[in-house]
Chains A and B, each alone.
Chain A
Amino acid sequence: MQDTLAMVDDPEYEEEEPSFSDPEDFEDDIEDEELLEDILRDKPQEADGIDSVVVVDNVPQVGPERLEKLKNVIHKIFSKFGKITTEFYPEADGMTKGYIFLEYAAPTQAVEAVKNADGYKLDKQHTFRVNLFTDFDKYMNISDEWEAPEKQPFKDFGNMRHWIEDSDCRDQYSVIYEAGERTAIFSNDAKDPILAEERARWTETYVRWSPKGTYLATFHQRGIALWGGEKFKQIQRFSHQGVSLIDFSPCERYVVTFSPLMDTKEDPQAIIIWDILTGQKKRGFHCESSAHWPIFKWSHDGKFFARMTTDTLSIYETPSMGLLDKKSLKINGIKDFSWSPGDNIIAFWVPEDKDIPARVTLMQLPSRQEIRVRNLFNVVDCKLHWQRNGDYLCVKVDRTPKGTQGVVTNFEIFRMREKQVPVDVVEMKESIIAFAWEPNGSKFAVLHGESPRINASFYHVKNNGKIELIKMFDKQQANSIFWSPQGQFMVLAGLRSMNGALAFVDTSDCTMMNIAEHYMASDVEWDPTGRYVVTSVSWWSHKVDNAYWLWTFQGRLLQKNNKDRFCQLLWRPRPPTLLSSDQIKMIKKDLKKYSKIFEQKDRLSQSKASKELVDKRRAMMEEYRHYREAAQQLYHEQKSLRLELRGGVDTDELDSNVDDWEEETIEFFINEEIIPLGDL
Chain B
Amino acid sequence: MKPILLQGHERSITQIKYNREGDLLFSVAKDTVTNVWYSVNGERLGTYNGHTGAVWCVDCDWDTKNVLTGSADNSCRLWDCETGKQLALLNTNSAVRTCGFDFSGNIIMFSTDKQMGYQCFLNFFDLRDPQQMEDNNPYLSVPCSECKITSAVWGALGEFVIAGHENGEINQFSAKSGEILKKAKEHTRQINDIQTSVDLTMVITASKDNTSKLFDSNSLDHIKTFRTDRPVNSAAISPIMDHVVMGGGQEAMDVTTTSTRIGKFEARFFHAAYEEEFGRVKGHFGPINCVAFHPDGKSYSSGGEDGYVRIHYFDPHYFDFELEA
Contacts and interface: CB of A to CB of B under 8 A. Distances in A.
A666 interface: yes
A624 B22 contact: no
A520 interface: yes
A632 B201 contact: yes
Interface string B264-299: 000000001111000000000000000000011000
Given A610-B324, A621-B325, A641-B157, A651 B41 contact: no
B255 A654 contact: no
Given A627-B223, A666-B40, A666-B43, A617 B242 contact: no
A617 B63 CA distance: 40
A549 interface: no
A651 B20 contact: yes
A645 interface: yes
B103 interface: yes
A543 B253 CA distance: 12
Contacts of A195: none
Contacts of A638: 156-157
Interface in A535-567: 542-545, 562
Contact of B259 (A519, A620, A623, A645): A519
A624 B201 contact: no
A634 B229 contact: no
B41 A642 contact: no
A542 B250 CA distance: 14
Contacts of B105: 646
B257 interface: yes
Given A543-B255, A617-B323, A618-B325, A654 B295 contact: yes
Interface in B224-274: 224, 229, 242, 250, 254-255, 257-259, 272-274
Given A654-B21, A654-B296, A621 B41 contact: no
Contacts of A40: none
B19 to A, nearest CB: 11
A624 B103 contact: no
B250 A621 contact: no
Given A646-B103, A651-B62, A620 B229 contact: no
Contacts of B158: 645
A614 interface: yes
Interface in A616-639: 617-618, 620-621, 623-625, 627, 631-632, 634-635, 638
Contact of B274 (A545, A617, A625): A617
Interface residues of B, number: 40
Interface in A555-614: 562, 610, 613-614
A666 B250 contact: no
A240 to B, nearest CB: 37
B160 to A, nearest CB: 14
A621 B20 contact: no
Given A614-B324, A634-B218, A654-B296, A621 B273 contact: yes
A154 interface: no
B218 A642 contact: no
B320 interface: no
Interface string A52-88: 0000000000000000000000000000000000000
A178 to B, nearest CB: 16
Contacts of B62: 646, 651
Contact of A666 (B22, B41, B103, B224): B41
B324 A645 contact: no
Judged by DSSP, the binding face of B is: loop
Contacts of B41: 666-669
Contacts of A613: 324
Contacts of B254: 543-544
A34 to B, nearest CB: 84
B222 to A, nearest CB: 11
Nearest to A627: B223
B102 to A, nearest CB: 8
A635 B103 contact: no
A654 B201 contact: no
B274 A621 contact: yes
B201 A634 contact: yes
Contacts of A651: 20, 62
B202 interface: yes
Contacts of A562: 229
A666 B23 CA distance: 12
B158, B199, B242, most chain A CB atoms within 10 A: B199
Given A610-B324, A618-B325, A621-B274, A627 B242 contact: no
Interface in A641-660: 641-642, 645-646, 649, 651-652, 654
Nearest to B216: A631
Nearest to A641: B157
Interface string B146-182: 0000000000111000000000000000000000000
A539 B14 CA distance: 32
Interface string A467-503: 0000000000000000000000000000000000000
Contacts of A624: 223-224, 242, 272-273
A588 to B, nearest CB: 38
Contacts of A620: 273-275
Contacts of A621: 273-274, 325
B313 interface: no
A614 B323 CA distance: 9
Contacts of B145: none
Contacts of A631: 199, 201-202, 216
A501 B104 CA distance: 56
A481 B233 CA distance: 40
Nearest to A618: B325
A335 to B, nearest CB: 38
A632 B199 CA distance: 9
Nearest to A560: B229
Contacts of B38: 666
A450 B21 CA distance: 59
A654 B298 CA distance: 13
B272 to A, nearest CB: 7
Contacts of B202: 631
Interface in B57-98: 62-63
Interface in B8-50: 20-22, 38, 40-43
A496 to B, nearest CB: 11
Contacts of B250: 544
Given A543-B255, A620-B273, A645-B157, A635 B43 contact: no
A583 to B, nearest CB: 43
Contacts of A610: 324
A645 B22 contact: no
Contact of A617 (B42, B223, B325): B325
Nearest to B259: A519
A646 B104 contact: yes
Contacts of B257: 520, 542
List of 3 A-B pairs having minimum Cβ-Cβ separation, nearest first: A645-B104, A624-B273, A617-B325
7 contacts: A617-B323, A624-B272, A646-B104, A651-B62, A652-B199, A666-B40, A669-B42
Interface of A: 519-520, 542-545, 562, 610, 613-614, 617-618, 620-621, 623-625, 627, 631-632, 634-635, 638, 641-642, 645-646, 649, 651-652, 654, 666-669
Given A638-B157, A645-B103, 14 more contacts: A544-B250, A545-B259, A621-B325, A624-B224, A624-B242, A631-B199, A638-B156, A642-B157, A645-B157, A646-B103, A654-B22, A667-B41, A668-B41, A669-B41
